[in-house]
């Protein structure tokens, strides 16, 4: 129950239209994509300006009411919903959706946090620029959420994570002050780089209201290929060869297992097998350049020839046109969807050094097979970044619920192996509520304490996204 004084002051500050109190209207903000938890709150606010965000936060601070910032609501770790007992409201950034400015000469644009990622991509393209962040949810996720979770996606190998694409931020702090850090500078060594602290902090240190984004020249030519490999180990020299023969043109280097292709062929719409015959592993790779009249196709063909000569590739196909390259990507995009009809899937979003990916997959496969005979490992994803979505489909003849009951046990085995490779148990999805305790189990006490000290210093009342990422002390 929120205090009446709080509600009436809020109404004065932002107006009743920006306050959702009816549970039917609140429901969509509470139900997540993966549906593991359902949020609970009595108020969702939808401010339209940074000043309104500031007003809301000041009132919440005064009344010690928690605030859960929510963007496009596409997160996978329950970071964007309040849990029962949190005494928290939801602040939706959906109406903070203006593209403020674009400066193509400086390769920057200033956007509010509620802008949809795809809208930003399109706006940049209209000015012959690329905003390279690209991921499955781009049609509905918001840039504020991308920044708060340091989203990854399919172009990281070339352009980096969201962190590398943000030059400046505007943030409302947990005391309701507005920090204007909207600098459009490539270089600025005038103190602690505060924006870095907010990027990836999952709403626990403040609310991102706007950002300066880094743009790039728009790619003019690209090449896409699917390669079949026999041994997973061969993917490493193949990647290094691509890095030296294609240089910065390499933008994607994705791993697909045969089982993923089988699932996609069986359950996907319009999916075709790109290569005749069956191989254990496939690489989907793409290279692109911002220049016209490049020799990218020749370079790519030389690369493939060298890879064949070295015997690192068994078979391969270079897309001859846009529709063929689209069909390769369709295969990749169907990978997650097409696991669903195969029953329960225990998921991991891990990273290890790129050089350790094959060893990690082998060790983990062996361990989980030993634990649950018949389990079907389905590792796929961003091999070029060392980031594998290590998903495990249930044995064919097992009851789904029985299988999913092993979730935490399996997590522990897989994460122990990740830890032994000095890896990360959350490469791109973040921690939220789902992985909070698991994260604490693996982080050193020194690191947890440093994080806690920062949290306490910046959010002394603990009102920002309570219970997420940082354990409640």
Site for a second copy in 331-370 (CB under 8 A): 351-356
Q: Does 450 bind a second copy (CB under 8 A)?
A: yes
Considering only 289, 364, 375, 417, the residue that binds a second copy (CB under 8 A) is 289
Interface pattern 244-273 for a second copy (x via CB under 8 A): xxxxxx------------------------
Nearer to a second copy, 295 or 399 (CB): 295
Question: Which tokens sit at 325?
Answer: 């390259």
Q: Which of 56, 76, 87 is nearest to 207 (CA)?
A: 56
Cα→Cα distances 220→9, 111, 134, 249, 447, Å: 53, 25, 17, 11, 44
Hunting for tokens 């401010």 — which residue is that? Answer: 47
From candidates 58, 183, 258, 369, binder to a second copy by CB under 8 A: 183
- Binders of a second copy among 229-248, rule CB under 8 A? 236, 240, 243-248
CB-count exposure of residue 286 (10 Å: 0-12, 13-18, 19+): buried
Tokens 């191989």 locate to 279
Q: Which is nearer to a second copy, 2 or 290 (CB)?
A: 290
Indicate the residue among 25 and 193 with the shorter CB distance to a second copy.
193
Please tell me whether residue 168 adopts helix, strand or coil conformation: strand
27 lies in the site for a second copy, by CB under 8 A: no
Nearer to a second copy, 246 or 271 (CB): 246
CB 260, CB 253: distance < 8 Å: no
Measured distance CA(62)–CA(87) in Å, rounded: 14
Residue list 403-422, contact with a second copy (CB under 8 A): 422
Show the binding pattern over residues 111-140: x = contacts a second copy (CB under 8 A), - = does not. Answer: -----------------x------------
Name which position in 93, 173, 222, 339 contacts a second copy (CB under 8 A): 173
- Rule CB under 8 A: choose which of 386, 390, 391, 406 binds a second copy: 386
Contacts 24+ apart (CB under 8 A), 454-458: 454/197, 454/205, 455/204, 455/205, 458/173, 458/174, 458/197, 458/205, 458/206
Nearer residue to a second copy within complex by CB, 192 or 397? 192
**379 has which bridge partners?**
390
Contact stretch for a second copy (CB under 8 A) within 25-33, 224-232, 339-347, 385-393? 385-393
Give the count of beta carbons closer than 10 Å to the beta carbon of residue 292. 7
124/271 with CB nearer a second copy: 124
Stretch 189-228 residues interacting with a second copy (CB under 8 A): 189-194, 196-197, 199-201, 205, 217
The single-letter DSSP state of residue 340 is G
Count of alpha carbons within 13 angstroms of residue 355, beta-carbon side: 1
Asked if residue 74 binds a second copy (CB under 8 A), the reply is no
DSSP string, 43-64: -EE---SHHHHHHHHHHHHHHT
Least spacing, CB of residue 131 vs a second copy, in Å: 15
Please identify which residue in 1, 457, 472, 473 interacts with a second copy, judged by CB under 8 A. 457
φ, ψ at 130 (rounded to 5°):
-115, 130
Between 14 and 458, whose beta carbon lies closer to a second copy? 458
What are the C-alpha distances in Å from 339 to residues 131, 251, 364, 403?
30, 26, 19, 15
- CA-closest candidate to residue 382, choices 323, 332, 345: 332
- In the complex, the smallest distance separating the C-beta of residue 400 from a second copy, rounded to whole angstroms, is 29
- CB 291, min distance to a second copy, A: 5
Which of 78, 94, 146, 424 forms a contact with a second copy (CB under 8 A)? 424
Determine which residue in the list 42, 95, 97, 104 makes contact with a second copy, applying CB under 8 A.
Answer: 104
Cβ at position 316, least distance to a second copy in Å: 19
- Which stretch, 8-16, 157-165, 329-337, 406-414, contacts a second copy (CB under 8 A)? 157-165
| For a second copy, the closer CB: 84 or 450 | 450
Minimum Å gap between C-beta 156 and a second copy is 7
How many residues form the binding site for a second copy (CB under 8 A)?
A: 95
φ, ψ for residue 128 (rounded to 5)? 60, 35
Q: Do residues 304 and 251 lie in contact, with contact meaning Cβ atoms separated by under 8 Å?
A: no
């Amino acid at each position: 129950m929120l205090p009446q004084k709080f509600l009436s002051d809020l109404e004065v500050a932002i107006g009743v239209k920006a306050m959702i109190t009816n549970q039917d209207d609140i429901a969509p903000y509470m139900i997540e994509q993966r549906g593991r938890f359902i949020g609970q709150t009595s108020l969702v606010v939808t401010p339209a300006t940074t000043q309104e965000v500031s007003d809301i936060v000041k009132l919440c601070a005064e009344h010690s009411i928690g605030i859960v910032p929510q963007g496009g609501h596409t997160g996978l770790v329950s970071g964007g919903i309040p849990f029962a007992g949190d005494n928290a409201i939801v602040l939706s950034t959906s109406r903070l959706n203006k593209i403020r400015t674009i400066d193509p000469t400086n390769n920057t644009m200033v956007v509010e946090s509620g802008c949809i990622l795809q809208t930003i991509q399109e706006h940049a393209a209209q000015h012959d620029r690329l905003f390279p962040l690209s991921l499955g949810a781009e049609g509905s996720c918001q840039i504020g959420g991308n920044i708060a979770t340091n989203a990854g996606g399919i172009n990281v190998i070339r352009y980096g994570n969201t962190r590398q694409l943000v030059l400046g931020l505007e943030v409302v702090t947990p005391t309701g002050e507005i920090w204007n850090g909207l600098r459009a500078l490539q270089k600025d060594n005038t103190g602690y780089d505060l924006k870095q602290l907010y990027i990836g902090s999952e709403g626990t240190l403040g609310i991102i209201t706007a950002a300066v984004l880094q743009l790039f020249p728009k790619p003019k030519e690209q090449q896409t290929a699917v390669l079949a490999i026999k041994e997973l180990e061969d993917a490493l020299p193949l990647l290094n060869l691509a890095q030296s023969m294609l240089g910065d043109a390499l933008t994607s280097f994705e791993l697909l297992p045969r089982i993923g292709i089988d699932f996609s062929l069986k359950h996907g719409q319009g999916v075709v097998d790109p290569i005749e015959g069956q191989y254990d592993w496939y690489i989907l790779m793409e290279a692109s350049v911002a220049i016209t009249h490049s020799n990218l196709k020749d370079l790519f063909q030389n690369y493939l020839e060298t890879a064949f000569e070295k015997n690192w590739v068994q078979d391969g196909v270079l897309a001859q046109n846009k529709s063929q390259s689209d069909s390769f990507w369709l295969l990749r995009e169907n990978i997650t969807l097409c696991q669903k009809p195969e029953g329960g899937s225990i998921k991991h979003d891990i990273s290890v050094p790129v050089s350790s990916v094959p060893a990690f997959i082998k060790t983990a496969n062996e361990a989980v097979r030993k634990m649950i005979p018949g389990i079907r490992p389905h590792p796929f994803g961003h091999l070029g970044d060392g980031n594998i979505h290590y998903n495990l489909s249930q044995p064919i003849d097992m009851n789904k619920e029985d299988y999913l009951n092993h979730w935490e046990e399996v997590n522990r085995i897989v994460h122990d192996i990740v830890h032994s490779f000095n890896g990360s148990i959350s490469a791109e999805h973040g921690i939220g509520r789902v992985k909070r305790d698991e994260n604490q189990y693996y982080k050193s006490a020194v690191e947890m304490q440093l994080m806690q000290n920062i949290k306490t210093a910046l959010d002394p009342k603990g009102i920002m996204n309570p219970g997420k990422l940082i354990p409640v002390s």
